[in-house]
Amino acid sequence: MEPLRNEGTDLPLSFNTTMEDVLNYQKSQIQTFLRVNHIKVSGNKLELAQRVVKAIKDRSCTTPSQIPPHQSCQTSDVPVPDIKDLHSGWAGKSDMFPNIKIQDVENYLIHSSHRTVDAKKMQCYRQYIRGLNFFKEGYIHKIMMNEINPDSEYCYIRSKCYPSMKQGVYEQWILMTKKPPFHVQKASCTCPAGLGEGCTHVAGLLFALEGRPVTDDDVPCTSKPCEWNRPSKRKKDTKPVQDMSFKKIKLSGENVQALMA
């Protein structure tokens, strides 16, 4: 397969190029890139950006440094399994989650240099801001944690995030230490930019962890019983309908003055 060309656009062609990076360019530039590489150019800007990222991932050369994000790793004496192999042990109680601070989020998204695919600093400033907004606007939900086993120093945390520009949900996860100093070992998301390990949805999950506590065991409001039709707590005696008065009260001047007194 021939390499990608970016004449006239200067779009980044790195394996770490994210959809957010591509969306910073004008739609005409993205279409030019797709056209010179013989890729479909119709659709909205988001669809075009997704095609660019997919083309970069499909045509990038695989090197030993490009480790698939789902590959199992051994971070200590206790091996860490692939998240796909963890079919049980997930819990959503917020008091179990690592108590990370805002500095921990910044260290990973801005200053981290341990991404799976390269050794460069992430510097995900745009993802940092958008991830914070995703958390504040309630896009992050169903946060779950799996401690793997009591002897492991790492844990998996996953969540779901509503996308900002389409229907459906994206699923993201991180592998991080259970105790401080907190360190994110790996991350991934099902969005087109998820292989970069620093997409806005992963950022939103980190901010959700920093923004604890979450009440009611993280049960979404749509799953709770409605609150507006609860019966009155006041006890009222029942009586037959024939004993009720349905007369309309006519207020005269004297009655009004009596009510106002």
What is the DSSP track for 15-53?
Answer: TT--HHHHHTS-HHHHHHHHHHTT----S-HHHHHHHHH
The answer on pLDDT for 76 being more than 70 is no
Interval 119-130: pLDDT, tens: 566 677 888 888
The answer on pLDDT for 69 being more than 60 is no
Contact 163, 132 (CB under 8 A): no
With bands split at pLDDT 50, 70 and 90, how would you rate the model's confidence at 68? Answer: very low
The pLDDT value recorded for residue 65 is 34
Q: Cβ contacts of residue 66 below 8 Å, gap of 6+?
A: 15, 60, 116, 117
- Segment 70-81 shows an average pLDDT of 57
The pLDDT value recorded for residue 111 is 78
Report the SS3 class of residue 151.
Answer: coil
Q: Between 36 and 173, whose confidence is greater? A: 173
Which residue is associated with the tokens 């698939």?
Answer: 68
Rounded-to-integer distance, Cα 178 and Cα 224, Å: 30
Contact 243, 235 (CB under 8 A): no
Question: Where exactly are the structural domains of the chain?
Answer: 1-61, 83-218
Contact 175, 80 (CB under 8 A): yes
The answer on pLDDT for 258 being more than 90 is no
Using a cut of 0.85, tell me whether the model's pTM lies above it.
no
- Which of 56-60, 125-129, 228-232, 243-247 is modeled with the greatest confidence? 125-129
Interval 158-188: pLDDT, tens: 999 887 777 778 999 999 998 888 888 888 8
The pLDDT value recorded for residue 254 is 65
Mean pLDDT over the full length of the chain? 75
- Segment 203-228 shows an average pLDDT of 63
Rounded-to-integer distance, Cα 151 and Cα 160, Å: 27
The answer on pLDDT for 157 being more than 90 is yes
- Segment 106-115 shows an average pLDDT of 74
The answer on pLDDT for 95 being more than 70 is yes
The pLDDT value recorded for residue 158 is 92
- Segment 133-159 shows an average pLDDT of 89
Nearest 5 degrees, angle CA 182-CA 186-CA 189? Answer: 120
